[in-house]
Chain A
Amino acid sequence: MFMWLTISLRNILKNGRRSLMTVLAIALGYAAINLFQGYVHSTYEGLTNAAIHGEGLGHFAIFRKGYLEQGKLHPEKFQFSKEEVDRISAIVCAERDVQLVTPRLSVSGILSNGKNSTIFISEGLVPAEDVEIRGDLSKYTSFTGSYLDERERTGVVIGAELAAMLDLKVGSDAVILSNTYTGMANALDAKVLGIYNTGNTATNDKMLLMTYRHAQDLVDYSGAERLIVLLRDGRNGKNLAAVMERLRKSISDAGYDVEMKTWNELSVFYRQVKNLFDMIFLFIFLIVLVIVVMSVVNTMSMSVMERTREIGTLRALGLKRFGVKSLFATEGALLGILGSAAGSIIFFLVYAAITAAHPTYIPPGSSNPVPLRVDLVWSVLVRSVLSMTVLALVAAYIPAKRSAKMTIVDALGHI
């Protein structure tokens, strides 16, 4: 084995220029894949955070069975009553990994400043508990005024676009209109406590936050649409499924028929971004795959051709066909390793440059610039070395197999 490595390495060095081109192709492919992976990783972390905390989805939500299919049409039939909210919340709170469970009630309707009106979408929430999930929104740079407060029963917080459309300022009075669940028109006072940028152009002109009780008053209902559950720090990931499984059982044992959705099932945005990134990654990976395979096959075909007599000689000395294939596969693998090593250098140079320069960009659908970051994910870096090496090895195997098929007499060439 050691001898095959020696032969391979020396042949790579002997054909310096040719090897360099192949190594460079692998290196660029390696760097491209890992930079993208590092970028995606940093983005996912932000997206996860944005979904759980920013969007306020918590780790998962509990709905009455059937709500997700028919709940919007028959909210009173597929939501939780006040008593159910209390009983189920108590069960959930008993689970030790749970930090918080809080009710939500979605409502929508029309917001009016007296002269003009426009539609709004809203979440009725418990302010103190929401702060635990989302953090204090009023600390955000784009936030003016103050956050919801249980004592300000008519207080609302609205998106910056929405405020601009209706010319509402902090302290302005407005009216919210909606239908109750029994179909009666209802109008309530609303006082603008705060204005903020939702960070998303799709919601910035519609979002209105109000207290849970205010929302209940608006639709004249004493229950909740869903319960949001937040786990203790670091209990996402594997724990999430286990906690949900345990709760599913204890809630069902208590006689309630519910369904649960995790934050990533609920966040449309997260799923869209993830799908997009997965597509881009596949695309990049396919390009790299084709380039790496083609350049290794090309290089190794030349190598095999030049060394036909050597192959004949080695086989005349007793090397088996498998040995010939191994010899060239070793050379391919070595190209893969050298390419990955060079690729790592490129990766770290770019990584250092990005870390030093802190570039920012405005992603589509976002209203704030975000930093362009690349994470250092060692497991991905190592796995890429392995896959590049295996890829180069397999690519080298194609011409090697052809050469091993030749008869020894043909390989030696007759004089």
Chain B
Amino acid sequence: MSILEFNRVEKEYRLGETRVRALRGVDLSVDKGEFIAVLGASGSGKTTLLNLAGAIDDPTGGAVLVNGQTVANLSDDAKAELRSRTIGYIFQTFNLVSVLTALENVMLALQIRGGRIADIRNEAARRLDEVGLADFMHHRPDKLSGGQRQRVAIARALVTNPLLVLADEPTANLDHETAQSIIDLMKELNEKDGVTFLFSTHDQRLISQVKRVVRIDDGKIVTEMKTAN
């Protein structure tokens, strides 16, 4: 069974009189363990697509199903619950809480769900270690480089053991080398732990290793490539 499914999804934004059709009939199905890149130019609808996949926003047409549930049918709190338990989200701008240390930022994702503080701390520390930041746990975001911040964000997204990790242009604010290392890290986590990733990018160079690439243009999926390897 697919863990994410888009059925003829439409999304229209209203800005006063003008209407922007950000997604026009998108069909997509993501299986457990996949590693998928959404490739498209700026304004093509990548963020919109990932927001809908992450139960952050609702479609104006069609249906988005996460883990078999139609997101639009859920209450506000149920959506929050869904985000907290089944989805990890990585932002282009990292979006760490500036007054918290790396460790506390990662712990936060677990604390939203609740649990024993000692367990939460251990799990968060383990995840930071996994992304190579064992020595930076007590640093605040402003004392970390862009690449390090995004690693914290990845640890934060993964710490809840989500079914699906969404990353919206996670490398757009990083230099190419760092960007590549972030993609490599995500790939490694996908291969090692079977974490399902759906990430977006506008950078062709980053997708050479990616098995499945969804190309989006002006709110429509134009091609889907699946390489065997």
Contacts and interface: CB of A to CB of B under 8 A. Distances in A.
B100 A316 contact: no
Interface string B95-114: 10111100010011101110
Chain B interface mostly: helix
A3 B111 contact: yes
A373 B56 CA distance: 61
B54 A316 contact: yes
Interface string A1-43: 0110011001100100000000000000000000000000000
A24 B76 CA distance: 38
Interface in A311-332: 312-323
A165 B138 CA distance: 86
A210 to B, nearest CB: 78
Interface string B65-97: 000000000001100111111010101110101
Contact of A316 (B56, B97, B107, B111): B56
B44 interface: no
B103 to A, nearest CB: 11
B171 interface: no
Contacts of B51: 408-409
B92 A415 contact: yes
Contacts of A172: none
A41 to B, nearest CB: 42
B107 to A, nearest CB: 7
Q: Specify which of B81, B108, B156 lies most central, judged by the most chain A CB atoms within 10 Å of its CB.
A: B108
Interface in A295-339: 309-310, 312-323
A414 interface: yes
A216 to B, nearest CB: 82
Contact of A317 (B57, B89, B92, B100): B89
B95 A2 contact: no
Contacts of A310: 95, 97-98
Interface in B92-140: 92-93, 95, 97-100, 104, 107-109, 111-113, 117
Contacts of B77: 320-322
B148 interface: no
Given A317-B89, A317-B108, A409 B97 contact: no
A10 B99 contact: yes
B80 A318 contact: yes
Contacts of B47: 414-415
A355 interface: no
Interface residues of A, number: 27
A310 to B, nearest CB: 6
Contacts of A319: 80, 84, 112
Given A317-B84, A319-B112, A409-B51, A7 B92 contact: no
Nearest to A12: B99
A11 B100 CA distance: 10
B108 A3 contact: yes
Contacts of B91: 313, 316, 412
A407 interface: yes
Interface residues of B, number: 32
Nearest to A8: B99
Q: Specify which of B54, B91, B156 lies most central, judged by the most chain A CB atoms within 10 Å of its CB.
A: B91
A6 B57 CA distance: 29
A7 B84 contact: no
Given A6-B104, A320-B76, A11 B112 contact: no
A347 to B, nearest CB: 31
A313 B156 CA distance: 12
A317 B99 contact: no
B109 A317 contact: yes
A315 B82 CA distance: 11
Contacts of A3: 100, 104, 107-108, 111
B76 A317 contact: no
Interface string B152-186: 00001000000000000000000000000000000
Interface string A326-358: 000000000000000000000000000000000
Nearest to B87: A318
A414 B98 CA distance: 20
A318 B51 CA distance: 13
B108 to A, nearest CB: 6
B99 A11 contact: yes
A315 B80 contact: yes
A415 B156 CA distance: 22
Nearest to B86: A318
Contacts of B85: 318
Given A316-B56, A318-B81, A409-B51, A7 B100 contact: yes
Contacts of A408: 51, 56-57
A407 B57 contact: yes
Interface of B: 47, 51, 54, 56-57, 76-77, 80-85, 87, 89, 91-93, 95, 97-100, 104, 107-109, 111-113, 117, 156
5 contacts: A318-B81, A318-B87, A320-B76, A321-B77, A409-B51
Q: Which 6 pairs from chain A and chain B are nearest by CB?
A: A318-B84, A10-B99, A318-B83, A313-B95, A320-B80, A408-B56
Given A318-B87, A318-B112, A323-B112, 5 more contacts: A3-B107, A310-B95, A321-B80, A408-B51, A412-B91
